[in-house]
Amino acid sequence: EKGGYDWFMLKEIDEQPQAVAETLLGRYGRSGRLQLDEMRLSDDELRDVDKIIIIACGTASYAGLVAKYAIEHWTRIPCEVELASEFRYRDPIIDRSTLVVAISQSGETMDTLMAIRYARQQRARVLSICNTNGSTIPRESDAVIYTHAGPEVAVASTKGFLSQIVACYLLGLYLAQVRGVKYGDEIDAIMAALEKLPAGIQRMLDEGEQVRKLAAELVDTRSVLFLGRHVGYPVALEGALKLKELAYLHAEGFAAGELKHGPIALIEDGIPVFVVVPPKARDQLQEKIVSNIQEIRARGALTIVLAEDGDDDVVPYADHLIRLPKVPTLLQPLVATVPLQIFACELAGLLGHDVDQPRNLAKSVTVE
């Protein structure tokens, strides 16, 4: 039931603090060790892993792109992310020491299912990250980490996405713990920051009015761009996908560093561009993106800047400034995505679209 909301999507956006909290619940013991009950792969098997391939579709693949940064950083295991629909058609190099991680909210996505079947035929170990108990993908996997986001009804994934990122992070930290790599030290700090995250997400929800007003101002827009770097890049992709599927608008996400390699030619007077600014602590990335914002604004873009509290460098170049709580860089996607979801949902509603059931789309895509 919609519980008083106009759309399931609005309800699910609002449930995100809880979805993240539930996904973390019971997985970090007082002993300072992570426990993943459905892991089923032994420590020896996990120590054998020499390559990780994340496969998924759509929003789940963007969760995978975010996770790659964290998993490689913590585990030092090379990690690729591939669209499930591409994976088995390219003769991928996989064997017994490859860990294939399938991310799927529904657990029924046919492209992802076919990809894991293929991976298992090649003797890879398959771990799935899934929100639906007993669905096909976890049943056909060697191990599973369930996200505990609760049922997601709206076609557009929201709480599914945030909880997938959290589950991927738990996997990365768990692998680091089992393998005893040096970044194991970071486990405590990151877990403490993760535990505080629901409050940060709640703040983004409480401040949603700013984004809703912006959607009303931009209701006639034809095209919207999103820029990000590092983990902000998949956030840009996700912001653009939400807008395409809900508002039926042309929207594209770019890595900000790619601007001058082509996309900057798209910048014209008045085009709205969302920019996700990495935390200042991140070496040079913040400065680089600030100059990207200057470049596009000088060419007429309407800049909508998402930057952490206290980052004043962006102020002169932001037509709209959306403040984010200060969190470690790797966790920023979990707060920065929220206003982009609210924006797409609001704009779609204003345009009179069916927010929960966008045209031509299905909640789980059970054909290839």
> What positions carry a catalytic annotation?
363
Check if the beta carbon of residue 227 is closer than 8 Å to that of residue 273: yes
- What is the per-residue binding string for ligand M6R in 212-241, x denoting contact by CB under 6 A? -----------------------------x
Rank residues 58 and 333 by Cβ distance to ligand M6R and give the closer one.
Answer: 58
Answer whether 229's CB lies under 8 Å from 289's CB.
yes
Task: Specify whether the CB–CB gap between 120 and 87 falls below 8 A.
Answer: no
Residue 136 makes contact with ligand M6R by CB under 6 A: no
- Binding residue for ligand M6R, selected from 112, 163, 177, 337, defined by CB under 6 A: 112
364 binds ligand M6R per the rule CB under 6 A:
yes
- Is residue 131 within 8 Å of 145, Cβ to Cβ? no
Q: Taking contact as CB under 6 A, which single stretch among the options 24-32, 106-114, 176-184, 281-289 is the one that binds ligand M6R?
A: 106-114
| Distance from chain centroid for Cα 47 | 27
Q: Measuring CA to CA, how many Å separate 80 from each of 73, 93, 324?
A: 13, 11, 29
Q: Which is nearer to ligand M6R, 15 or 245 (CB)?
A: 245
Instruction: Provide CB contacts within 8 A for 180, sequence distance 6+.
Output: none
Pick 20 or 155: Cβ nearer ligand M6R: 155
Between 187 and 201, CB nearer to ligand M6R: 201
CB-based contact 29:77 (threshold 8 Å) = no
357 binds ligand M6R (CB under 6 A): no
Q: Mark 36-65 with x for binding to ligand M6R (rule: CB under 6 A) and - for no binding.
A: ---------------------xxxx-----
The secondary element (H helix, E strand) that includes residue 228 is strand 223-228
Point out which residues bind ligand M6R (CB under 6 A).
57-60, 104-106, 109, 112, 155-157, 241, 245, 364-365
